[in-house]
């Protein structure tokens, strides 16, 4: 049974220099036609692969809150009408600080949204400008305060470290400022230079002054220590929360569970099949005019691929991979399938086996990619 859904809204009022998500400038785009196509995809998918109830809905982008109040109301009403979920479900909207008015907040709150995820990234105004963000630090405080005033209490913020020209002290100041918001959840990601981004072009020209690896590692260590000091539990490599506020959306991925993915460029995992939709709006919307799925690519995973994914996704969680659950799912122990890999990684002190879980060590947290790659069988 599928218990989670991702909904993609690809419109942005500006494009950040590091972002490689599927997005387009909002101005002049056929937003209402896109919402009609999105509704068709949701109806078509649920008619073919129904579910009884979702415990997580995540609306991401792009910038979902760049839509007008009327369009947001239409989107939320559509989700409420077609996707089965209760008040106990986690229902998240991504938002940019500064562009989320109280009227928009009220629309979201009144139509069932109970969690907000703000793309803050930094509290250094100069650095925000350098990475292509249009908000300022004061906008973050204003937006979070407004959300709390409307009634939202489950609020997450994203931070990025390893940014161009960023120092360890600067990142520490950002972390300290973020605690003043008293939110329930944090995500902290290291900057990744992705193709087809402004940063990628600058990096290739040698015009992107990034912190060195040691400084980036020090920023991650600082993030983990500060989160623990302020009462936020690290439950995944990049995610921290107050007790009981772990993101169900994130855990759906790391638990390797099935989920719907709706919208242009969205990915889904249903009945062992991973699918990705067309990203360009026209390519996404045209098949749906004829009640056909807008699938660009699909792949049914082999059993070997399922084993691999269970390990390298599950190891992102601080708790790690449950040996018992792995056996229940696949009929054999990971020790049988990955004996040599596990032994080698334990020897390198990158993973440990304890209390029926296989998990990353502190050293392994810093060298996660090396660990994950080791579980890719030849």
For position 115, what pLDDT does the model report?
98
* Domain definitions of the chain by residue range: 4-254, 316-374
User: Residue 84 pLDDT > 70, yes or no?
Assistant: yes
What confidence tens digit (pLDDT) does each residue in 273-302 have?
Answer: 999 999 999 999 999 999 999 999 999 999
Euclidean distance between CA atoms 363 and 250, whole angstroms: 23
**Could you tell me the pLDDT band of residue 163, with boundaries at 50, 70 and 90?**
very high
Task: Enumerate the β-bridge partners of residue 121.
Answer: 159
**Strand 185-190 to 273-277 pairing:** unpaired
- Identify which of 266, 288, 233 has the alpha carbon closest to the alpha carbon of residue 40: 288
- Identify which of 236, 295, 305, 237 has the alpha carbon closest to the alpha carbon of residue 267: 295
- Identify which of 306, 241, 282 has the alpha carbon closest to the alpha carbon of residue 37: 282
Cα of 375 vs its chain's centroid, Å: 23
What confidence tens digit (pLDDT) does each residue in 184-241 have?
Answer: 999 999 988 778 777 778 778 888 788 999 999 999 999 999 999 999 999 999 999 9
User: Residue 320 pLDDT > 70, yes or no?
Assistant: yes
Q: Is CATH 3.80.30.20 what the domain over 4-254 is classified as, yes or no?
A: yes
The residue-averaged pLDDT of 165-178 equals 96
Tokens standing for residue 273: 């099949």
For position 217, what pLDDT does the model report?
96
**Could you tell me the pLDDT band of residue 336, with boundaries at 50, 70 and 90?**
very high
SS3 annotation, 63-122: CHHHCCHHHHHHHHHHHHHHCCEEEEEEEEEEECCCCCCHHHHHHHHHCCCCEEEEEEEC
For position 206, what pLDDT does the model report?
83
Share of the chain above pLDDT 70, in %: 97
For position 26, what pLDDT does the model report?
78
What confidence tens digit (pLDDT) does each residue in 2-44 have?
Answer: 999 999 999 987 766 666 666 677 788 999 999 999 999 999 9
Average pLDDT, the chain: 94
Euclidean distance between CA atoms 260 and 215, whole angstroms: 38
Report the length, in residues, of the chain: 378
User: Residue 67 pLDDT > 70, yes or no?
Assistant: yes
Tokens standing for residue 236: 């995944």
Share of the chain above pLDDT 90, in %: 85
Q: Can the peptide bond before residue 62 be classed as cis, meaning omega within 30 degrees of 0?
A: yes
In angstroms, what is the C-alpha Rg of the chain?
A: 21
Euclidean distance between CA atoms 336 and 269, whole angstroms: 26
For position 17, what pLDDT does the model report?
64
User: Residue 137 pLDDT > 80, yes or no?
Assistant: yes
For position 312, what pLDDT does the model report?
95
Cα of 316 vs its chain's centroid, Å: 13
Of 85-89, 104-108, 155-159, least confident by mean pLDDT is 85-89
Task: Enumerate the β-bridge partners of residue 177.
Answer: none
Given the structure tokens 């994914």, which residue do they identify?
Answer: 309
For position 13, what pLDDT does the model report?
77
Residue 86, CA atoms < 13 Å, CB-side half-sphere: 5
Task: Enumerate the β-bridge partners of residue 262.
Answer: 7
The model's pTM: 0.95
For position 377, what pLDDT does the model report?
79
């Amino acid at each position: 049974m599928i218990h989670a859904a991702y909904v993609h809204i690809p419109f942005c009022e500006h494009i950040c220099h590091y972002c490689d998500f599927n997005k387009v400038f909002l101005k002049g785009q056929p937003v209402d036609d896109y919402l009609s196509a999105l509704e068709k995809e949701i109806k078509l998918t649920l008619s073919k692969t129904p579910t009884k109830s979702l415990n997580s809905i995540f609306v991401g982008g792009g910038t979902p809150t760049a839509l007008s109040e009327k369009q947001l109301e239409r989107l939320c009403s559509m989700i409420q009408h077609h996707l089965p979920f209760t008040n106990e479900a986690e229902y998240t909207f991504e938002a940019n600080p500064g562009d989320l008015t109280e009227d928009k907040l009220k629309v979201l709150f009144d139509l069932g949204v109970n969690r907000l995820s703000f793309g803050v990234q930094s509290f250094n105004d100069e650095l925000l400008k350098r990475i292509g963000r249009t908000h300022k630090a004061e906008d973050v405080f204003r937006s979070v305060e407004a959300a709390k005033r409307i009634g939202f209490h489950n609020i997450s913020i994203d931070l990025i470290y390893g940014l161009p020209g960023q120092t360890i002290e600067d990142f520490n100041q950002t972390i300290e400022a973020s605690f003043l918001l008293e939110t329930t959840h944090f995500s902290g990601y290291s900057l990744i230079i992705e193709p087809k981004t402004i940063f990628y072009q600058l990096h290739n020209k040698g015009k992107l002054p990034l912190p060195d690896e040691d400084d980036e590692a020090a920023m991650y260590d600082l993030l983990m220590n500060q989160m623990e000091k302020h009462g936020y539990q690290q439950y995944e490599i990049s995610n921290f929360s107050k007790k009981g506020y772990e993101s169900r959306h994130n855990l759906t991925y790391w638990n390797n569970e099935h989920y719907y993915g709706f919208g242009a460029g969205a990915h889904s995992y249903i009945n062992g099949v991973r699918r990705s939709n067309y990203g360009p709006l026209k390519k996404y919307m045209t098949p749906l005019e004829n009640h056909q799925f807008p699938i660009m690519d699909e792949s049914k995973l082999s059993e070997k691929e399922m084993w691999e994914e269970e390990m390298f996704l599950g190891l992102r969680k601080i708790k790690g991979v449950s040996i018992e659950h792995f056996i229940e799912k696949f009929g054999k122990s990971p020790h049988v399938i990955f004996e040599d890999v596990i032994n080698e990684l334990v020897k390198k002190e990158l993973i440990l086996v304890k209390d029926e879980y296989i998990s990353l060590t502190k050293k392994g947290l810093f060298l996660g990619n090396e660990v994950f790659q080791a579980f890719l069988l030849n």
